Chains A and B, each alone.
Chain A
Amino acid sequence: MVGQRGWRRWAVVVLFLGPSLVPLLLFTLGPMAASIGLSFLKWDLLRPPNLVGFANFTNVLVDPDFQAAVGHTLFFIVGYLPLVYVGGLLLALALNQRVRGLSFFRAAYFLPVVTSWVVVALMWKWLLNPDSGMVNFALGLVGIKGPGWWTDPGWAMPSIILASAWKDLGFVMVILLAGLQSIPEDYYEAASVDGAGRWARFRRITLPLLTPSSFFVLVISLINSFQVFDQVWVMTGGGPAGSSSVVVEQIVRHAFSYQQMGYASAMSWLLFAVILVVTVFQFRLQRRWVNYA
């Protein structure tokens, strides 16, 4: 009797959980485990795989293309993160002023977020066209000779950063705006009564109480920045002359152009390890600067 009831209970659990657990095992957890194994193989999918130990990892680490890609990815992060955070914060602060037409502005600023990366990359590639793009035309009107943007090795990555910040501003804004709106009005009133000016209120109330939202946005944006790919692939393909190649683009190239499955998996694992370490580090660091009221 008890055995049968226990059996029935497990049947219910399996019925509810199975349809999601089985695909997760087959298409997420399984491949994840497999990619560890793959990273120790030399395999082009045509001939049988060879076990090569840590050779893939040691080769990746001294691969100049990979090192350059890591450098470009870091350059992307350093350029993109401050831009999107400060921009998003300014927009959130502006929209937190009980403005008229709030829903219009919010909708307009958020529109790029829902647009696919491929479309955004194409739009910006056209806007940043060196000879007949709208941006260089507008710069010309104020007497500035615009750069070659994505056709110039020195400007390819800045072009990608610009398009990326444009696309993600709305995302940062929405999260920070929600954070701003959860700060109780009384704090500001009390501070005003005590004679605190605008700047003091911003420094002593807004910024500290916004740190949980800022932390969330920075962690998510940083994780996503390490994985930057779509916009690079469409805007420059990593060029010109490899000047904007990034880590994920290298993974895709090695796996699907050069058929180096093990080598690409080793890169994936290095990337994942870096993301994991940086994220854990951020969570450790948050005790120093994030205030959970």
Chain B
Amino acid sequence: MRSRAVPLAALLSNPPVGRWSAWRRTAPQAALYVALIAVAIVMLFPFVWMVSTSLTSDAQLFVTPPQLIPSPFVPGNYARVADDFPLGAFLRNSLIVAAISTTLQVATSAMAAYAFARLQFRGRDALFLVYLATLMVPLQVIVVPLFIEMRFLNFVNSYPGLILPSIASAFGTFLLRQAFLTLPRELEEAAFIDGASHWTVFRRIVLPLSGPAIATFGIFAFMASWNSFLWPLIVTSSQDLMTLPVGLSNLHGRYATAWNLVMAGSTISVIPIVLVYLVAQRHVVRGVALSGLKG
């Protein structure tokens, strides 16, 4: 199954002329790299094309052959989108909603995880099962009553309406409980003997020792919020409260064929998440893989 990696450079500098056995060994390797690079192009090209289109003039948009490097270069598309749509507001709303809901989800999940991992109380395991069960409930099942509830509370088209449904997370509780359970108890026991309260132990010992798990969940929660579409679509109606995905979908509704403007808006909304991903790739991959709750 596994074979020795052959550097590409070695392949290229050793043409297999007259060396059949060497060729037989290196050909599959070369084919493997060709395939990997081809797939990488398929995965990355749509992003390149998005940025390229966002800089294309209206006149050049539908020419054949399509131009990979736009000429003329039209960065003004971004200004045009920003003139027609409150992109700044979309960005601000996405940031506010993602920041607040991530902070609260991390805080509430960590506290609940501490209760499930360290406190003894009646009904604890049954309650934990209830938490796990809520993981099974798709948003689609509760979206109608949730909307009616928000309407009743007068939170439709408001920040509380956007944020409240995601201030607690059963997934986060589950993930952090697993992390807390792996911590050695000796430090905590020593702290309790010194008279520390549960709150002190939680803040000064358990949290600092669980940095990676908290980072994984925090980044996951941020990305889930940043990319979420269905709930913001339903709960917002005025542009100044829309998050980026909803604003983008609106923008597309307006500019049905102005793909340069649509791609400019898309590029702006992708930049922050790509930055987060590049900086914290390991946590991102782990968080998404652990949850199975994609984008």
Query: Which residues does A use to contact B, with CB under 8 Å?
Result: 9-10, 12-13, 15-17, 19-24, 26-32, 34-35, 38, 45, 91, 94-101, 104-120, 122-127, 129, 131-132, 134, 137, 166-171, 174-175, 178, 185, 188, 198, 201-202, 205-206, 216, 220, 223-224, 227, 229-230, 233-234, 248, 251-252, 255-256, 261, 264-265, 268-269, 271-272, 275-276, 279
Question: Once the chains bind, are A174 and B66 in contact (CB under 8 Å)?
Answer: no
Instruction: Tell me the chain B residues, 221-247 only, with Cβ under 8 Å from chain A.
Output: 223, 226-227, 229-230, 233-234, 244-246
Cβ of B23 within 8 Å of any chain A Cβ, yes or no, is: no
A122 near B108 with CB under 8 A, answer no
Given A108-B43, A116-B229; A220-B136 close (CB under 8 Å): no
Q: In the complex, what residues of A have CB within 8 A of residue B165's CB?
A: 27-28
**Distance A192 CA – B137 CA, assembled complex (angstroms):** 46
**Hey, which chain B residues are within 8 Å of A255, CB to CB?**
143-144, 147
Listed residue (B35, B168, B288) with the most chain A CB atoms within 10 angstroms of its CB = B168
Which residues in chain B, 20-77, are within 8 Å of chain A measured between CB atoms?
Answer: 32-33, 35-36, 39-40, 42-44, 46-47, 49-50, 53, 61-66
Q: Which residues of A contact B112 (CB under 8 A)?
A: 16-17, 19-21
- Which residue of A has the minimal Cβ distance to B268? A119
Binds A, one of B188-196, B209-217, B277-285: B277-285
The prevalent SS among residues of A at the interface is: helix
A272 contacts which of B36, B111, B138 (Cβ < 8 Å)?
A: B138
B66 contacts A134, CB within 8 Å? yes
Say yes or no: B292 contacts A220, CB within 8 Å: yes
Complex contact A16–B198 (CB within 8 A) = yes
Complex: how many Å from CA A9 to CA B121? Answer: 8
- Tell whether, in the assembled complex, residue B115 and residue A19 are in contact, meaning their CB atoms are under 8 Å apart: no
Whether the Cβ atoms of A224 and B173 lie closer than 8 Å is no
Beyond A113-B288, A123-B46, whether A230 also contacts B62 by CB under 8 A is no
Is B19 in contact with chain A by the CB < 8 A criterion? Answer: no
* CB of A57 to closest CB in B, whole Å: 15
B129: min CB distance to chain A, Å: 13
Option from A22, A24, A118 in Cβ contact (under 8 Å) with B229: A118
Q: How far is the CB of A272 from chain B (nearest CB, A)?
A: 5
Query: In whole angstroms, what is the CA distance A124 to B262 when docked?
Result: 12
Selected contact of A24 from candidates B63, B170, B262, B277, CB within 8 Å: B170
A109 to B41, CA, bound (A): 9
Give the chain B neighbours of A27 by CB distance below 8 A: 142, 146, 149, 164-165, 167-168
Find chain B residues with CB under 8 A from A261 CB. Answer: 144, 148
Nearest chain A CB to B181's CB is how many angstroms away?
15
Give CA–CA (A188, B245) in the complex, Å: 47
Q: Which residues of B contact A271 (CB under 8 A)?
A: 138, 140-141
A275 to B136, CA, bound (A): 9
Cβ of B7 under 8 Å from chain A: yes
B259 at the interface (CB under 8 A from A): yes
Contact of B144 (CB < 8 Å), options: A97, A227, A265 = A265
27 contacts between A and B (CB under 8 A): A12-B198, A16-B198, A21-B112, A21-B168, A27-B146, A28-B165, A94-B32, A95-B36, A107-B278, A114-B274, A114-B295, A116-B269, A117-B245, A117-B295, A118-B227, A118-B245, A120-B46, A188-B2, A216-B292, A224-B292, A230-B229, A230-B245, A252-B234, A256-B234, A265-B144, A268-B143, A276-B136
Residues from chain A with Cβ under 8 Å of B61 in the complex: 132
CA of A151 to CA of B44 in the docked complex: distance in angstroms?
25
Select from chain B the residue with minimum beta-carbon distance to A137: B66
Contact A30:B149 (CB < 8 A) given known A12-B198, A114-B273, A114-B295: yes
| A213 → chain B closest CB, angstroms | 10
B230 to chain A minimum Cβ distance, whole angstroms, is 6
Question: Is B229 a contact of A99 with CB atoms below 8 Å?
Answer: no
In the complex formed, the residue of A with least CB distance to B291 is A220
Check B137–A166 contact: CB distance below 8 A: no
Task: Give A195 Cβ to nearest chain B Cβ, in Å.
Answer: 15
**A99 near B121: Cβ-Cβ < 8 Å:** no
Contact between B145 and A97 (Cβ–Cβ < 8 Å)?
no
